[in-house]
Every structure is written in structure tokens, then in C-alpha cells.
Amino acid sequence: MFQAADWKSLFMIKKYNEDQIIQGIFSGDVNILSRAITLVESRKKEDRVSAGKIVQACLEKSGRSLRIGITGPPGAGKSTLIDALGMYALGQGKKAAVLSIDPSSSRNHGSILGDKTRMQRLFRNENAYIRPSPSSGMSGGVGPATREAVILCESCGFNFIMIETVGVGQGESAVRSLADFFLLVQIPGAGDELQGIKRGVLELADAVVINKADGDNLQRAQNARSIYKNAIMLTQTKEWGWQVPVEICSAQNEVGIDRVWRILKDYQKASESCGFLSRQRKEQSKYWFYEVINRFIQENFWSNTDVHRILSAKEKTVLSGKASPLQAAEDAISELKKL
Amino acid sequence: MFQAADWKSLFMIKKYNEDQIIQGIFSGDVNILSRAITLVESRKKEDRVSAGKIVQACLEKSGRSLRIGITGPPGAGKSTLIDALGMYALGQGKKAAVLSIDPSSSRNHGSILGDKTRMQRLFRNENAYIRPSPSSGMSGGVGPATREAVILCESCGFNFIMIETVGVGQGESAVRSLADFFLLVQIPGAGDELQGIKRGVLELADAVVINKADGDNLQRAQNARSIYKNAIMLTQTKEWGWQVPVEICSAQNEVGIDRVWRILKDYQKASESCGFLSRQRKEQSKYWFYEVINRFIQENFWSNTDVHRILSAKEKTVLSGKASPLQAAEDAISELKKL
């Protein structure tokens, strides 16, 4: 028979100290991994200190994975492709982690259920780990702690990391700053979609995959492949000699996944042997360094109570129409300079 | 016969002082307007001081326009719609300005030519003004000086301002922060495109227009309208009672432009009379105030030579692999705190 104490223990969340969390991650415990990621995502000051120590400890065991950024417009079937590619990777003896950035809506919360249904097989497999992360408003498609989450997953034994992001916008350069390989997923279209932002995104891509190449779409997918191939030939050659391939696949029917896998392996081999992979990771480390510094400046500034006092007074003059935003800001800045 | 001096004067760009620029703007001189916008986009310190004075002077004469943010995926025909809508506005006695954010590529420069060919009629009309602005990398779809450019255009007599941005990403909230009305342009699709980011963008929209509703697309456009109408009914009601309309149009054939115009006028009337328009502009002023403050913090920090010395030393330890990015940042921060 249940005692009150049993019930209590059922609902008690066990507290771990930093060392226990680190050891848990190293031993491959995904529950502890999840908690650690929650910790690095936390904005509480005490959590941040712990998170810093944990990430620091994990850094040494990290880096031994292929980090793949995957982007494409809504409806391109990214999640289905990730499910198929992840299952393929597991078949090759890999352990796969998916960090999916969830920008869906700033008003409605999350779409974890969505991920569960779209990545069903990965979700049920013990060699796979799926973690949806909130994207923080305007930060550009990558969560503030995605980089740290990659490190933690790697230290937990995952060696095939997929970072999914939505949008054909500016977030891609943020993903580019933390992935080894950047995969652009597209769908067959009317044929004239190579305009505006896509060209910029295309330049970042290490490969383009045209998904949903099945049934009626097959011919259109093949046409799209030609268009992309031409566009790529005209606009880009990677400085270290990588030829950006364009492939078609049907994630739904699992056709062409092996070809995508081959591209990844070819890329890994080529970029390692010519030294590009390590150069790129160094650049990314530098980017990360400045990211942390930037966060510090922001926090340091906004947590100052004098700053708060000055700014909220000036904000009032803006809201009451007594000063223009520019004038008020100028006044505030000259007061800030005297601090 | 030409003298050397004539040639010289042909290529000399006349220098104006701040007062001349302000008077030029007030008198409706678009050449001076263009120069002033270049000035507010400049990152040079001396330009910034002048720019601040000019914008400050223009603020009083600004605000008497409808500011429309227009977004939609590449290929939706935004430019053609802007051309048609702008021409319609001119027919109603308005003066139309288009600020098109050009995110195209961080590597290739601009697409001014593209705008010229897509907005041909506006481009040739003396009551219209088109200004492509660079978007600054990751800032979110809106250029750093778009807000200021709106003020300058208004003071120059333009009272119908269209701010175009590309992308179905995070940039929309930045446009939302400076437009009175946010128009989402879509094209007829396969019917399942209401996922992920689009739902978030949909929540920001004050109206949805399904463009390219012509020829074979007409039926699909009508279907898309039903889908959007349902989605909007399920997910949103504007707090002040505005019912988000969904319309179809063909900018190419100029069909339905009058309906889009009617929506804009209805919105303007309703939002003015209930006080929402002025509340929203106040919120936007506050946002702007904090934007300027933020820029100040950044500049103030990075222009400090001690900061530079500390950071470049630590950066070296990251690049040489002597310290992890986190460790190096932590060390740098403790040195920064001692400054």
C-alpha cells in the first residue's frame, strides 16, 4: 500500500550538484542531459554559474561529432527529413541528437508535441535525443544556449548533431556560426524562387536537398535541382574547393536518404583533410567568445540600479510626449556618462 | 568649350550644411532627402551628430502618414504589389515612399536594379520615392536607420509610406515596431503551409493578401483565402476589435488593388478613432528610445581602448586553443570589471 511518503517521492525532483550532473552527462544519462540543458537555458544568476561550470567541464569531451545545421521554409518537411536521416545515422552506429529551434509563436507556447509526432521513430529510439529549444525573440533563429546544448550533447555521447531552424531569414548566419555543415532543404516550386533572401541563404549552404520528390512532384523536383545547380555554379564556389551538391529526396518514402548521408561523409572527410573543419571551428570559438562578452555587457548595464532610475525617468518623458525618443535618449546618455 | 573647371563642377558633389538639408527636406527635395538618409545610415561619428540634429528637426513635421509594413516570402510578388498599390495611392492624391529592405546577400551588393525593374511605374513618378536600404546582417530584417528614414520621408511630404521586408522569419517583429499596419503577402500554395513560423507572423498581421490570384491560380487563391480565414478565426482577434481581413488580388493584372486600399483606409479610420493608433505609436517611441540606448551601450563599450586591449589578448588565447571560449570570456570579464 502507498504511504504518503511514496507519493511524495514520486513527485520530488531529485536535486543534483554540479559534479553529479557532469558525471551523469559523461555516463550518457539523457535525463540529466535534459536538466543540464534547462540549466544552460536558464536566465537565473545562480543557474548561470552552475551552467558555466558544467559546460566548461564538458568542453574537453566535446567536438567529436558532425554538427549539421538544417534549415528551410515551413512545409519543406525538415522534421520528416531529420527523422529519416537520424534513423539512417543510427543504422551506421551513430548516436543522434536533434536540437530543434522552436520559433513558432511568441504568443502561443512551443510545439514539442509537433516534434514528437513528426520525428516519431527518433523519439522512441534510445540512441536518439530530441530537444526543442525556445528561440529568444529576435536573436536570429538560434536559441541563446544552442551552442552550449551542442557541447553537452556531445559529452553525453551523441556524435551526430542536427540543429534545426525554421525560416528563410537571417537566422541562418547564426546557425552557420555553430554548425560544421549547413544543409538547405527546399521543395519543388514554380521555378522562379531564386530571389531575394534565398540567394543569400544559398551562399551559406554546403548542400541543397530538394525534398518531397515523390509522386507528381518528382519532375518538378528534378527541374528545381537543375535550377539550383545553375544558380550555384553562377554564384559560388567554396574557398576551400567544396562543390555544393544539389540532391533530391523523399524523406516520407525514404528515397535518397543514403545520398544525403554520402554527401555528409564526403564533406566531413574533405573538410577535415584540408584543415577547413578545424579552421572553421576556431572561427566559431572566436564568435562564441564575443557572444559571451556581449551578453555580459548587456546584463552588466541593465542590472545597474542607477541606469534603471535614469532610463525609466526618461522613458516617461517619451510616453507622455514631452520629449522625442531621440531627444530623451540623448539626455539619458549624457546622464549615463556622468555615472 | 569646356574648361577644366566645368568638368570639375560636374563631378563635385555639393556640400550642404545641416540647416540646408533640413530646409531641403521640408521643401520636398528628394535629392536632399536621399543624402539625408545616407547620412542617417552612416556609421561615421561626425555624420551621426549631423544625422541626429536633422532627424530631431524633422520629428515635428513627421507622423502624418500611414506607415505600412509589407512582408511575405520571396516570390510572393511584393514589389509588383507595392508598385500597384503605390500607383493607386498616387491616384488618390497621396505621395508614396517605399523603403525596401534589401537583405539579399551579405556577399553580393544590393539589388537596386531589381527594385527599379519591379517598381517601374513608381520609379518614374515624381510623387513617389523609392529607397532600398541595406539590412545590417543579423539585425532582423529592418535596417538600423529605417525608423529615421520614415521620419525624413514624412517631413519631405510623403504621406503613404511602405516598408518592404523579405523573409518569413524574425524580421517581422522589427517591422511591426515601426509600422502602423502590417500586411502579409502570400501566394496560393499547396494548402498546408500554415505551420511553424508562419503562424507567428500571421499573428502580427493586420491583413493578409493572397497575390497572384490570376489564371490557373485563381481557384487555389480562393482556397488559400478560406484556409487563412479559418486560421485567423481560430487563433486571433486584435485586442481593440480589428477583424483581420484576408483578400485575394493580382498585382500583375491590377485586380483587387482597390480592395486592399479599402482595407488600409478602414484600418486607419478604426484605429484612429479608438485611440489604438496613437497608443501603438507611443509604444513604438518607447521601443525606439531603448534602441538608441542599446546602440549607445554597444558603441561606448567597443570604442574603449582598454576594452580592446583586454579582448584582443583573450581572443588570441581562444584562437591558439589555450583557453576555451567560455574560460577566456570569463577571464576577460573579470579584467573588464576592474577597469
ipTM: 0.73
Phi then psi for residue B80, to 5 deg, are -65, -40
Q: Which residues are bridge partners to B71 per DSSP?
A: B165, B184
Give the end of a domain, one of A44, A61, A78: A61
Q: What pLDDT, on a 0 to 100 scale, did the predictor assign at position B134? A: 64
B99, B78 contact by CB (below 8 A): no
Contact A173 B106 (CB under 8 A): yes
For B235-241, what is the mean pLDDT? 73
Same domain, B38 and B161: no
Same domain, B148 and B116: yes
Contact A328 B289 (CB under 8 A): yes
Contact B297 A297 (CB under 8 A): yes
Interatomic CA distance for residues B263 and B276, integer angstroms = 16
Same domain, A140 and A209: yes
DSSP A126: T
R_g over Cα of chain A: 23
In a domain, B183, yes or no: yes
Q: Nearest CA of chain B to the CA of A326: how many Å? A: 6
**CATH number reported for the structural domain that contains residue B79 in this entry:** 3.40.50.300
Contact B138 A173 (CB under 8 A): yes
Q: What pLDDT, on a 0 to 100 scale, did the predictor assign at position B265? A: 97
Give the end of a domain, one of A42, A61, A80: A61
In a domain, B281, yes or no: no
In a domain, A320, yes or no: yes
B133-168 confidence digits (pLDDT tens): 765 543 444 566 888 999 999 999 999 999 987 654
In chain A, residues with a C-beta closer than 8 Å to the C-beta of B135 are 170
A82-108 confidence digits (pLDDT tens): 999 999 999 999 999 999 865 543 333
Contact A293 B282 (CB under 8 A): no
Same domain, A44 and A126: no
Q: From the candidates B107, B154, B326, B338, which should be mutated to test the interface with A, based on the most A CB atoms within 10 A?
A: B326
Range of the domain at A20: 1-61
Which amino acid type is present at position A94?
K
Cell of B327: 574560460
Interatomic CA distance for residues A14 and B150, integer angstroms = 55
Q: 3-class SS at A247?
A: strand
Burial of B323: CB neighbours in 10 Å, binned 0-12, 13-18, 19+: buried
Same domain, B206 and B71: yes
Residues in chain A: 339
Contact B103 A167 (CB under 8 A): no
In a domain, B310, yes or no: yes
Cell of A243: 562543390
B33-67 confidence digits (pLDDT tens): 999 999 988 878 888 889 989 999 999 899 999 99
Q: 3-class SS at A240?
A: coil
Q: What pLDDT, on a 0 to 100 scale, did the predictor assign at position B291? A: 86
A181, A67 contact by CB (below 8 A): yes
Give the end of a domain, one of A15, A37, A61: A61
A50, A18 contact by CB (below 8 A): yes
Q: What pLDDT, on a 0 to 100 scale, did the predictor assign at position A116? A: 58
Same domain, B96 and B209: yes
Contact B197 A104 (CB under 8 A): yes
In a domain, B141, yes or no: yes
In a domain, A280, yes or no: no
Helix (H), strand (E), coil (C) string for chain B? CCCHHHHHHHHCCCCCCHHHHHHHHHCCCHHHHHHHHHHHHCCCHHHHHHHHHHHHHHHCCCCCCEEEEEEECCCCCHHHHHHHHHHHHHHCCCCEEEEEEECCCCCCCCCHHHHHHHCHHHHHCCCEEEEEEECCCCCCCCCCCHHHHHHHHHHCCCCEEEEEEECCCCHHHHHHCCCCEEEEEECCCCCCCCCHHHHHHHHHCCEEEECCCCCCHHHHHHHHHHHHHHHHHHHCCCCCCCCCCEEECECCCCECHHHHHHHHHHHHHHHHHCCHHHHHHHHHHHHHHHHHHHHHHHHHHHCCHHHHHHHHHHHHHHHCCCCCHHHHHHHHHHHHHHC
Strands B207-210 and B246-248: parallel
Contact B328 A108 (CB under 8 A): no
In a domain, B282, yes or no: no
Same domain, B55 and B66: no
Cell of B154: 514624412
In a domain, A281, yes or no: no
Q: Is the pLDDT of residue B257 over 80?
A: yes
Q: How many domains are there within chain B?
A: 3
Same domain, B221 and B306: no
B166-207 confidence digits (pLDDT tens): 654 556 667 778 899 999 888 887 544 543 345 567 778 899
Same domain, A138 and A247: yes
B57-108 confidence digits (pLDDT tens): 999 899 999 999 998 877 788 889 999 999 999 999 999 999 986 554 333 3
A181, A70 contact by CB (below 8 A): no
Q: Which of A140, A293, A324 sits opposite B138 (nearest CB)?
A: A140
Phi then psi for residue A291, to 5 deg, are -65, -45
pLDDT band at A6 (very low <50, low <70, confident <90, very high): low
Same domain, B174 and B79: yes
Q: From the candidates A58, A195, A286, which should be mutated to test the interface with B, based on the most B CB atoms within 10 A?
A: A195
Cell of B68: 505600412
pLDDT band at A110 (very low <50, low <70, confident <90, very high): very low
Q: Nearest CA of chain B to the CA of A9: how many Å? A: 37
A136-185 confidence digits (pLDDT tens): 543 444 566 888 999 999 999 999 999 987 654 556 667 778 899 999 88
Q: Which residues are bridge partners to A96 per DSSP?
A: A128, A160
Q: What pLDDT, on a 0 to 100 scale, did the predictor assign at position B330? A: 87
Interatomic CA distance for residues B110 and A96, integer angstroms = 40
Interatomic CA distance for residues B172 and A305, integer angstroms = 32
In terms of Cα–Cα distance, which of B195, A145, A261, A121 is closest to A132?
A145
**CATH number reported for the structural domain that contains residue A12 in this entry:** 1.20.5
Contact B325 A292 (CB under 8 A): yes
Same domain, B69 and B56: no
Q: Which residues are bridge partners to A97 per DSSP?
A: A129, A161
Q: Is the pLDDT of residue B236 over 70?
A: no
Q: Is pLDDT larger for residue B235 or for residue A190?
A: B235
In terms of Cα–Cα distance, which of A73, A86, A72, A129 is closest to A260?
A86
Q: From the candidates B100, B168, B170, B279, which should be mutated to test the interface with A, based on the most A CB atoms within 10 A?
A: B170
A30-84 confidence digits (pLDDT tens): 999 999 999 988 878 888 889 989 999 999 899 999 999 998 877 788 889 999 9
In chain A, residues with a C-beta closer than 8 Å to the C-beta of B140 are 138, 140, 170
Interatomic CA distance for residues B174 and B3, integer angstroms = 52
Same domain, B95 and B164: yes
